[in-house]
Amino acid sequence: MAKTDSLRESELQVRKPIPSKYFNEDSSFHPASVLISKPIEEVWAFLRDMTNMPKFIRGLASVQVLDDKRSHWVFDHQGQHHENDSEIIAEEMGSLLVWGAVGEKNQVGAVSLERAPGGRGTFVSMRTSTDHEKGKVTGVLAWYFGGDPKSASYINLRRLKAYMETGEVPTVEGQPNGREQELKH
């Protein structure tokens, strides 16, 4: 197996476990990890600034910082609009950031950072939890998941990786898909 293959395989596994104490037992957990080719200090500074979250979290329109621990989040996704306040629950400088929706104990997100061996960058793990009611995903996190909360952590981490490494998130929005030409002929 080539070195790059083993790195890609390791990206699919959660590298540094995020402590369970921040998550409610009744919630579903959705962990994921990626390797970002940037130093841990740069990744931490980007993630700690909550106003950067909309740059990579799908469906999150804006974040307004209220104080050092609290922020106001606005979600606009698939025609739905939702706003809530979020609070940083735990923070270990340069390695762990946990936030949750104020008043919604089962809506929690967390990222952990770990230096990759050989100066290859930073492993970033994300874990989110959602509350289930009658088999249906509910709550704030469902707004930006767009249907599949199990893959949302991974999708958002891939978007973070793209943004950190290239300065933009690739998208197919606005690109032709060929169907229009099929209909004309």
Local confidence band at 46 (pLDDT 50, 70, 90 cut-offs): very high
Burial class (CB in 10 A: 0-12, 13-18, 19+), 53: buried
In a domain, 78, yes or no: no
Query: Helices (DSSP H) in the chain: which residue ranges?
Result: 3-11, 40-48, 140-145, 149-166, 179-184
Query: What confidence tens digit (pLDDT) does each residue in 125-151 have?
Result: 888 776 544 333 444 444 444 456 567
- Identify whether 79 is part of a domain: no
Q: Quick one: pLDDT at residue 102? A: 85
The whole-number pLDDT of residue 30 equals: 63
Decide if pLDDT at 7 tops 90.
no
pLDDT of residue 42 exceeding 60: yes
Residue 76 inside a domain? The answer is no
**Within-domain flag for 128:** yes
Q: Give a yes or no: residue 179 inside a domain.
A: no
- Write out pLDDT tens, residues 92-119: 999 999 888 887 666 788 888 999 988 8
Average pLDDT of the residues in 160-179: 81
Q: What is the pLDDT of residue 128?
A: 76
pLDDT at residue 15, as a whole number: 53
What is the pLDDT of the chain when averaged over all its residues?
76
3-class DSSP assignment, residue 99: strand
Is 71 domain-assigned? no
CA angle 100, 104, 11 (to 5 degrees): 40
Give percent of the chain above pLDDT 70.
Answer: 63
CATH number at residue 150: 3.30.530.20
Average pLDDT estimate for 45-74: 93
Task: Work out how many domains the chain is built from and give that number.
Answer: 1
Residues 6+ apart with CB under 8 A from 149: 28, 30, 128, 130, 137, 141, 142
* 26-30, 69-73, 125-129: segment of lowest average pLDDT: 26-30
- Domain assignment present for 25: yes
* Residue 131, domain member (yes or no): yes
Q: What is the pTM of this model?
A: 0.74
Which domain range does residue 100 map to? 3-49+91-167
